[in-house]
A and B are shown apart, each in its own frame.
Chain A
Amino acid sequence: MHNSPHLTRRHALGLLGATLLTGCAMGGGGSGAPASKAPTGKVSAGNPFGVPDSGKVELAYFKGGTPNYLAETVEPLLQKRFPNIKIQRTMSERLSQTLQPRFVGGSPPDFVDNAGADALNFGALIQDGQVLDLTAFYDAPSIDDPSKKIKDSLLPGAYESTLVDGVPYTVSFVARSFGLWYNAKLGLEAPTTWEAFIKVCEELKKSGITPFGYAGKNAADYQAEAILTSAVKIGGLELVRAIDNLEDGAWQAEAVKQAAEAWAEIGARFSDKSFEGLIHTEVQLRQNQGKVAFYPSGDWLESEQQKTTPKDFEYTMMPTPSITSSDKLPAAAVYALLGSSMFATAKGQNPAVAQEFMRLMVSKAGARAYTQASGWLTTVPGAADGLELSPGTLVSQRALAAAGEAKALITWKWNGWYQPLLTEIRDATNALMYGRATAAEFTERMQKKADEVKADPAVKKYQR
């Protein structure tokens, strides 16, 4: 009894190991086997994807803090059009954890609203061929005007923003603007030049308000986005295309350095060091309390802060002021988040229904119902006309319209395509804004990371 247990234990472990290795997470047998598709219906002008009369569709959504406006407003439209389709709704706060095993197993849902802090890595999904090519979807006739293709019925630039290597993968639905938010009731004249901006900041500082702040602990990317927006205003849209395409030296362009320098000065002179250790809601609350004037954010800020916004606070937004007098883009240029992270899956059971669902989404009725319920804008022109919008949403709508007219809607992809760059820029931004790094060190650091990503054979590269 004294030495045999040892031997058998070893033996047993070895055996177990051998059996386990054969049945493991990624070595699934049926790799590459196409998923069995549900029977398709007849394709017609009114039914361009051939949705069958009956069957099942699974729609997966990120479950955020707000009601699921999309599901509530667009699912009924789908149900009305195809009463015999059974809609299964899957909701999760942690999409990655919930859905990843299903992608690996080859049985993903048909549609994914891929948002939240634990969203699935989109680049990896594309690389693995898990995302449906939406070329046919965008070429399908729009519901409101069948003579128009869907891609021509949206805001200018909305379709292009979904292209990855020339292929559209996401439904371009949401339109959000990004800028510097402040209290309209402060009575500030929104500065359009950097000198004017600094002057306003000096005056605010004298009156005892911290002129500018962002949350370093978890929202440094907001500040990074402000810096990059400034850089693109100086250097033009080519600059951001070069950054997205990981071109050599793109981050070290003079425009990026100028923008970083200008913002570093704001950080050093007009912000508060303690903000580096705060999270976004903490700084946003301070702004509501009148302790911080300008805060960089997207137009979700107003609804996010609804509960803590006092009566004498009305959100309004200005685009980042022009840094030089020779900026390539006008002051009205804004960073816009066009599109969405919503996609149909390539290996889903019922891609036709998923696409029809998206077609309804970008119809006037769908978009309007969505905006009405959520207060958020969409890429469908005119869908929000006549709706009663909040002051912040109105400002955002006007900013998007003005920038769109000037062909100065700034969009970028690098943060979604290459996560390591996003992780890096958060640290680099804090170092820059809190005086631990110079503008040159900032650009050098980002370039180094971009080069690293470019050289990493495991990560697929994209072009736009």
Chain B
Amino acid sequence: MRHGRFLFIAGFLAAPVILYAVLVIGPYLQAFQIALTNWRGVSAQADFVGLDNFVRIFQDGLFWKALRNHGQMLLAVPLITIAMALAFAFLLNVAGRRTKGLRGSGIYRVVFFFPQVLSLAAVGVLFQLVYRPDESGILNGLVTGLGFEPVGFLTDPGLALWAIIGVMVWAGVGFYMVLFSAGMAAIPTEIYEAAELDGAGRFRVFFSITLPLLRNTVQVAWVYLGIAVLDGFALVQVLSVNNGGPDGATSVLGLQVWQHAFGNSTFGYASAMGVVLFFVIMSITAVTMRVTRREPLEY
């Protein structure tokens, strides 16, 4: 019996597992192999160069710039996104009278979710118009209308990364608001009622009840956002000056992998960079999970 069941399950799983192995695991493993060669992407031959590519990556100024950019985004994007999403979710779910949200919360919920419906590339194109550096840009139309010089949102090296962080937050808040809303809906109303009976105010309720009970959801959100930030390719590619400029101020590793592979045709080097990115993501995820781990609460 057991054997038959095993075959049955295996039969169902075989197709997706094979697809996954060929299209995902395979390329992953191959990237590790190519990273040790000087493959230029057009021939069937490549020389093994050991860890040479990695040595050169760590001497590459642009690589460190990208890491610094990732660091800044890792601090800013999850923090701002989660804070805003939590605030919105709280307002829409429990901040109103009793355990209902603010009036019209249904509409807000839909509106906040809009950016999630757009693909990232479309968001990028949209924000090209928002950030356009002359008076026909949406923001600069306001700025110049007030009589100021237009702001180079994407051309000022000190501002460009923040402009892109702003887009990431804008695009992400809606989704996490819905995620947190779902989490909040799962918190039994009795707990809120008990707190209210004890005379807890809204802030107290949020920090002492909602937030601790949402812990797992927030943790997941943090990891997701962390990974999204370590990607960032689409937005930077569409929005930034000179693909990651000005002067690497918005460069991200994904973009550099792409440039090295498809621009410079140094696939070995690009793969090595991909491998480094893989380990960076893995370690950040592991650290996040470890740091935020606690006993799950049962209710």
Does chain A bind chain B?
yes
Most buried by B among A24, A125, A276, A459: A276
| Cα separation A420 to B269 with both chains bound (whole Å) | 13
> CA–CA, A201 to B265, complex, Å?
41
Name the residue of chain B whose CB is nearest to the CB of A220: B242
For the complex, count residues of A whose C-beta is within 8 A of B: 54
Instruction: Say whether A423 contacts B268, CB under 8 Å.
Output: no
Q: Are A100 and B30 in contact (CB under 8 A)?
A: no
Pairwise interchain contact A130-B242, C-beta atoms closer than 8 A: no
Minimal beta-carbon separation of B145 from chain A (angstroms): 15
For the complex, what is the distance from the CA of A434 to the CA of B259, rounded to whole Å? 24
**A25 at interface (Cβ–Cβ under 8 A)?**
yes
A26 and B34 within 8 A (CB): yes
With A127-B40, A276-B241, A431-B246: A13-B152 Cβ-Cβ less than 8 Å: no
Q: Does B131 contact A (CB under 8 A)?
A: yes
Among A28-36, A136-144, A359-367, A406-414, the stretch that binds chain B is: A28-36
B236-252 residues with Cβ-Cβ distance < 8 A to A are 241-243, 245-248
Do B44 and A277 have beta carbons less than 8 Å apart?
no
Output the least CB separation between A451 and chain B (Å). Answer: 13
The listed residue with most A CB atoms (<10 A of its CB), out of B30, B44, B52, B268, is B44
Closest to A97 in B: B262
- Residue in B26, B134, B246, B259 whose CB lies within 8 Å of A20: B26
- CA of A426 to CA of B247, assembled, Å: 9
Q: What's the minimum C-beta distance from A274 to chain B, rounded to whole angstroms?
A: 4
Q: What is the predominant secondary structure among interface residues of chain B facing chain A?
A: loop
**A21 is an interface residue with CB less than 8 A from chain B:** yes
The answer to whether B26 and A420 have CB atoms under 8 Å apart is no
Q: Mark A96-123, 1 if CB is under 8 A from B, else 0.
A: 1000100111100000000000101101
Q: Give the docked Cα–Cα distance between A261 and B83 (Å).
A: 48
Q: Judge whether A128 and B21 touch: CB under 8 Å.
A: no
Bound together, the chains give a CA A127 to CA B264 distance in angstroms of 13
Inter-chain contact A12/B247, CB cutoff 8 Å: no
**Could you tell me which B residues sit within 8 Å of A by CB distance?**
17, 21-22, 25-26, 29-30, 33-34, 37-46, 49, 52, 56, 131-134, 140, 150, 152-155, 157, 241-243, 245-248, 259, 262-266, 268-269
Can you report 30 A-B residue pairs in the complex whose CB atoms are below 8 A from each other?
A13-B21, A16-B21, A25-B34, A26-B39, A31-B44, A32-B45, A96-B262, A100-B41, A104-B41, A121-B264, A273-B150, A273-B152, A273-B155, A274-B133, A274-B140, A274-B152, A274-B155, A277-B152, A278-B133, A419-B265, A420-B264, A427-B242, A427-B246, A430-B242, A430-B247, A434-B155, A457-B52, A458-B40, A458-B268, A458-B269
Residues in chain A within 8 A of chain B (CB atoms): 12-13, 16-17, 20-21, 24-28, 30-32, 96, 100, 103-106, 118, 120-121, 123-125, 127-130, 216-218, 220, 272-278, 419-420, 423, 426-427, 430-431, 434, 436, 456-459
Closest 3 CB pairs of A and B: A121-B265, A277-B133, A128-B43
